[in-house]
């Protein structure tokens, strides 16, 4: 029999709350994290979109002991480290702080060999705040003289999981996955496989990103991809609505603890839900736009159903990619219809991004946490700002208010630039099975 993989720890660092309790309260209340932003030294009049969902009042020292090299960390790495601490604690995994050389110690997980814990994280960009900072220094001084020797190691995409391993003494696999908006889903699929193959006992996975920077934000502005509803930020992210005009950028991290079912049972872990299957495909259509036919998005969901030995009739809920862009929402709706057939009109669908904004590489991690909480609590969070469904958006997207509904099986979708599609199927955990 194939091993079973369960989610036992949740670590959300989001624009609408840090920690699962505050995050959940915000989801059910339909709270938006959007607000106007200002980049230091930038003429914001050049930015047609001036709104985002930042993580306010965040300090890594609220989560980890201060280390000398914290000052070199990028925001993406810091989010990932904080979210990992939250996930470890939520999973009931005891941590000891072990002093290291020159005061650079690490939190170590008790009773589990560090080589049997791995980290695979989705990162859409990299530590772009550092990348842009050091590039400005390079240009300002006409060369690398004032560029820190720690700059390059910390801007790399792989620095995000590496910093997590160093903070927690993790010595299993450590790598990053970068597939734009699908990064976290792909990372969780890879982590799932590590457990199935018996390579690790525990996997730290999900995603982190901090793309609210002048260059990245400006790049999306130049693509006309983001909402321009600057006068009403909290209304700007409106997936599936007639008046949607683009996504709202978010930032943060969503980290989960995965472990094999018997391992979790043996240590008395709380189990949120089971990760039962996955599907991943490529549109091979366009570098940025989704295929409007939704054919390969549908295939990702169909593959997830097959992987989990599940029929469309068993799906109760879909956490949609739901970006609030003119192209994505009708394409995803069509894909859901193709994947589920008649069942598509009977499932509940909602978009976490309507509240958090689009966290790019962290999106899938945050959304699997939302799905796990909804499965456990029997409540489905709303898609806020959905007032008038747009053309081609004719399914039940749980508009405006949460609903009470038991979720047996759910799908969480994320689709990235270049047609990188990844769907994860979760199941409610039954202690009797």
Establish whether 42 is a catalytic residue.
no
Query: Which pLDDT score is estimated for 143?
Result: 92
Q: Spell out a b/e string for 296-316, using b for 16 or more CB atoms within 10 Å of the CB, else e.
A: bbbbbbbbbbebbebebeebb
* pLDDT value of position 71: 81
DSSP code per residue over 83-147: HHHHHHHHTT--EEEE--GGG--EEEETTS-GGGEEEEEE-SS--HHHHHHHHHHHHHTTSGGGS
Residue 62 in any domain: the answer is yes
Task: With beta carbons less than 8 A apart as the criterion, state whether 404 and 378 touch.
Answer: yes
List, for residues 343-358, the tens digit of each pLDDT value.
Answer: 999 999 999 999 999 9
Residue 217, both tokens: 């934000």
pLDDT band at 295 (very low <50, low <70, confident <90, very high): very high
pLDDT at 67: 67
**Are 35 and 143 within one domain?**
yes
332 with 197, same domain?
A: no
Report whether pLDDT(103) > 60: no
User: Does residue 187 form part of some domain?
Assistant: yes
Write down which residue in 266, 291, 311 finishes a domain: 266
Span 1-16, average pLDDT: 94
Query: What percentage of the chain has pLDDT greater than the value 90?
Result: 87
* 93 falls within a domain: yes
Question: Of 235, 266, 297, which residue is a domain's last?
Answer: 266
Cβ atoms within 10 Å, residue 249? 29
Among 241, 209, 191, 129, residue whose Cα is nearest residue 416: 209
For residues 256-284, give the mean pLDDT: 97
Residues 24 and 114 grouped into a single domain = yes
Question: What mean pLDDT comes out for the span 173-186?
Answer: 98
pLDDT tier for residue 431 given thresholds of 50, 70 and 90: confident
Instruction: Note down the domain range covering 310.
Output: 278-427
Burial profile 219-236: b = 16 or more Cβ within 10 angstroms, e = fewer: ebbeeebbbebeeebbbb
Q: pLDDT class for 78, splitting at 50, 70, 90?
A: very high
Residue tagged active-site, from 53, 131, 181, 273: 181
As a whole number, mean pLDDT of residues 163-169 equals 95
Q: How confident is the model at residue 179 (pLDDT cuts 50, 70, 90)?
A: very high
Q: Which residue has the higher pLDDT, 132 or 171?
A: 171
Same domain, 95 and 220: yes
Task: Please tell me the number of Cα atoms within 13 Å of 139 on its side-chain side.
Answer: 5
Report residue 68's pLDDT band, with 50, 70 and 90 as the boundaries: low
Same-domain check for residues 108 and 154: yes
122 to 119, 299, 367: CA distances (angstroms): 10, 22, 13
Residue 417, domain CATH: 3.40.47.10
300 & 394 share domain: yes
Residue 272 lies in a domain: no
pLDDT computed for residue 432 by the predictor: 67
Q: Residue 310: left if φ>0, alpha if ψ -120 to 50, beta else—which one?
A: beta
* pLDDT value at residue 98: 87
pLDDT, residue 2, reads 81
Q: What is the mean pLDDT of residues 236-249?
A: 98
Same domain assignment for residues 147 and 208: yes
Q: What is the pLDDT of residues 192-211, one digit of tens each?
A: 999 999 999 999 999 999 99
**Percent of the chain whose pLDDT exceeds 70:** 98
Cα angle 154, 93, 125; round to 5: 25
- In this structure, the answer to whether residues 66 and 172 fall within a common structural domain is yes
* Residue 331 shares a structural domain with residue 214: no
The answer to whether position 271 is within a domain reads no
CA atoms of 336 and 339, how far apart (whole Å)? 5
Residues 55 and 76 in one domain: yes
pLDDT band at 104 (very low <50, low <70, confident <90, very high): low
Number of domains comprising the chain: 2
Q: Is residue 233 part of a domain?
A: yes
């Amino acid at each position: 029999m194939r091993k079973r993989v369960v989610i036992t720890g949740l670590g959300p660092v989001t624009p609408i709350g840090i920690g699962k309790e505050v995050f959940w309260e915000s989801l059910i209340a339909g709270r938006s994290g959007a607000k106007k932003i200002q980049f230091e030294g930038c003429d914001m009049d050049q930015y047609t979109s001036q709104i985002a969902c930042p993580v306010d009042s965040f300090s890594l020292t609220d989560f980890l002991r201060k280390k000398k090299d914290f000052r070199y960390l990028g925001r993406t790495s810091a989010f990932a480290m904080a979210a990992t601490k939250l996930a470890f604690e939520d999973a009931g995994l005891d941590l000891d702080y072990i002093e290291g050389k020159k005061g650079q110690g690490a939190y170590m997980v008790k009773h589990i060999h560090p080589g049997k814990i791995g980290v695979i994280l989705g990162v859409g960009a990299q530590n772009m705040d550092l990348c842009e900072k050091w590039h400005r220094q390079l240009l300002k001084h006409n060369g690398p003289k004032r560029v820190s020797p720690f700059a390059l190691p910390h801007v790399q995409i792989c620095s995000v999981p590496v910093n997590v391993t160093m903070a927690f003494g993790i010595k299993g696999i450590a790598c990053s996955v970068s597939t734009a908006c699908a990064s976290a889903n792909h990372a969780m699929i890879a982590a799932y496989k590590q457990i199935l193959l018996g390579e690790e006992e525990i996997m730290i996975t999900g995603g982190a990103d901090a793309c609210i920077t002048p260059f990245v934000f400006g790049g999306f502005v130049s693509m006309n991809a983001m909402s321009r509803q600057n006068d009403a930020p909290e209304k700007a992210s409106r997936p599936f609505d007639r008046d949607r005009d683009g996504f709202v950028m978010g930032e943060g991290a969503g980290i989960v603890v995965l472990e094999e079912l018997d391992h979790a049972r043996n240590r008395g872990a709380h189990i949120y839900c089971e990760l039962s299957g996955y599907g991943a495909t490529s549109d091979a259509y366009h570098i940025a736009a989704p295929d409007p036919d939704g054919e390969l998005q549908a295939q990702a969901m169909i593959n997830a159903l097959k992987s989990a030995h599940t029929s469309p009739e068993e799906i109760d809920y879909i956490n949609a990619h739901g970006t609030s862009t003119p192209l994505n929402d009708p394409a995803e709706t069509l894909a859901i219809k193709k994947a589920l057939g008649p069942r598509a009109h009977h499932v509940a669908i909602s978009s976490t991004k309507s509240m958090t904004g689009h966290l790019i590489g962290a999106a899938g991690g945050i959304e699997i946490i939302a799905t796990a909480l909804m499965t456990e609590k029997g409540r489905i969070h709303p898609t806020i700002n959905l007032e008038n469904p747009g053309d081609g958006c004719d399914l039940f997207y749980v508009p405006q208010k949460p609903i009470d509904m038991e979720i047996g099986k759910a799908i969480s979708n994320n689709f990235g630039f270049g047609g990188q599609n990844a769907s994860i199927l979760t199941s409610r955990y039954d202690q009797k099975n």
